[in-house]
Chains A and B, each alone.
Chain A
Amino acid sequence: GAGVSQTPSNKVTEKGKYVELRCDPISGHTALYWYRQSLGQGPEFLIYFQGTGAADDSGLPNDRFFAVRPEGSVSTLKIQRTERGDSAVYLCASSLSPRGGETQYFGPGTRLLVL
């Protein structure tokens, strides 16, 4: 497809479980971003990749959260020992580069519910 895709669209898990969320960016986009959006809030930055490397992971809330982008395209956000407070919509975005005027194109998000 032409846009950013994310799978799954919805994920329900139990407290303490491990989850993986996947993002397929727009082809050719070198920059990829993860954000988290809680109910009634704006997206909150988690991490961004330039190519395969994490250029800024300052938004990851703790060491239960980890993200990879091994081949510079698809990225996976991994959450260990999930907690109820992790419930949110996880948004992925990509752009041609991280330069200021480059548009970040967002995917539809993965809605995570931790019971």
Chain B
Amino acid sequence: GEDVEQSLFLSVREGDSSVINCTYTDSSSTYLYWYKQEPGAGLQLLTYIFSNMDMKQDQRLTVLLNKKDKHLSLRIADTQTGDSAIYFCAEKATDSWGKLQFGAGTQVVVTP
């Protein structure tokens, strides 16, 4: 099946920008998502991008999509301690209504 790959860990200083990267293999993916998971809490949708876009900005979050390289990134500006969490990249293929394929997650640790 298709795989979604992410780096496992990212450490960033408070106030700096964080960049979390993801690669996917399904060229038919139509929607790509970023979810956040905090300890003991459910998955929270942060943002998503449609495959005909190459960038989307939402307050401190910027998503960049390179469809040719099947590469997705999430940039968090002015990272705060409350941004410490696991971030998951997920894709939805055209022919897979409803089914999300997740990466293994990137643990982001924000240090003061």
A91-B43 in contact (CB<8A): yes
Q: Which of A13-21, A60-68, A70-78, A104-112 contacts B (4 or more CB under 8 A)?
A: A104-112
Name B's interface SS: strand
With A101-B31, A101-B50 given, is the CB distance from A91 to B99 under 8 Å? no
- In-complex Cβ contact of A109 among B42, B44, B45, B105 (8 A): B42
A100-B45 in contact (CB<8A): no
* Interface status of B23 (Cβ within 8 A of chain A): no
Residues 35-51 of B contacting A (Cβ, < 8 Å): 35, 40-45, 48, 50
With A4-B42, A43-B88 given, is the CB distance from A100 to B30 under 8 Å? yes
- In-complex Cβ contact of A42 among B4, B44, B96 (8 A): B4
Q: What number of A-B contacts does a CB cutoff of 8 Å give?
A: 68
A101-B97 in contact (CB<8A): no
B42-A56 in contact (CB<8A): no
A45's closest neighbor in chain B, by CB?
B99
For chain B, the count of residues having a C-beta within 8 Å of the partner chain is 25
A40-B104 in contact (CB<8A): yes
Name A's interface SS: loop
Pairs A–B under 8 Å by Cβ, sample size 8: A31-B98, A42-B102, A42-B104, A42-B105, A48-B99, A55-B98, A107-B42, A108-B41
Known A-B contacts: A40-B104, A44-B102, A56-B99. Give 9 more (CB < 8 A): A33-B98, A35-B102, A41-B105, A42-B103, A50-B98, A100-B31, A105-B45, A106-B35, A107-B42
